[in-house]
Amino acid sequence: MLKLALFVCFIGLAVSYDFKDPFYNEVLLEDMLDESVDNVMLSRFRRSASDSLDEKCKRRYKCCNDVNTENLDKIKEVKKQCFTEVRNKNKADKTYEPVDMFSCERLNNTKTEVICAMECVARKKEILNEDGTLMEEKLLEFTRTNFAADEWQQPLLAGFIEMCLKEAKEKVAKNPREPGQCNAETSNYGYCMWRQMALACPKDKQESTKRCERMREKLANNEPIHYYKAELDD
């Protein structure tokens, strides 16, 4: 799948969420690029018109059938808005370059833009301090409202938030940002929460596709997630 291949080059840039999980990379691409100019470019590489995703095939990465789709869609719109704002700023500063699937340097630039867009989302939701660190006292309500509305998720939230905030801060401490870079704490936190929710999804709400089963297996074993064509053909 082209979307999964796009982030292969990102493994060389050691900041924030490391972009080594192609499943979560597709989450980010779906949320930020699916209606952008970049997606028009990507569509030209599809083999035929039939490769385009219709409405029922969107969000193939969703492996847990929770009831929070409406809130997730709202957050998706904020992500797209923030990504556009980051790119427009880069265009104004003459530092913008379009996504180029053949250029690792340009893909790494896009990775940096994604990190800044995630920080932008947190600022718009008013859960960031001035230095870009997350406000711990606001995370429970924010996470419950936007990502974890199901009853089964409620008793898990406090523990997940504590663990993921700790993990996010540790990753930032290990990879200090350079002057002018966005704070990666929000990106780290978002990936950790996505991972924990995917692992905690009850059996009766799990999608049973090969792809989802393979993802859960690798997440549970803390293994790098790599997909081959046979694993994606459900």
- Per-residue confidence band for 221, with pLDDT thresholds at 50, 70 and 90: confident
Yes or no: say if 199 and 219 are a contact pair by the CB < 8 Å rule: yes
Angle, in degrees to the nearest 10, between helices 104-124 and 185-200: 80
153 backbone dihedrals φ, ψ, rounded to 5°: -80, -25
**What whole-number distance in Å separates Cα of residue 47 and Cα of residue 43?**
9
Instruction: Note the pTM of the prediction, 2 decimals.
Output: 0.72
Determine the pLDDT at residue 22.
65
Q: Which residues contact 203 (CB under 8 A, 6 or more apart)?
A: none
Q: Does residue 45 come out as left (phi exceeding 0), alpha (psi in the -120 to 50 range) or beta?
A: alpha
Determine the pLDDT at residue 15.
40
Selection from 172, 73, 167, 71 nearest residue 119 by Cα: 172
pLDDT in tens, 63-120: 888 777 777 788 888 988 998 899 888 777 665 555 555 557 667 777 888 899 999 9
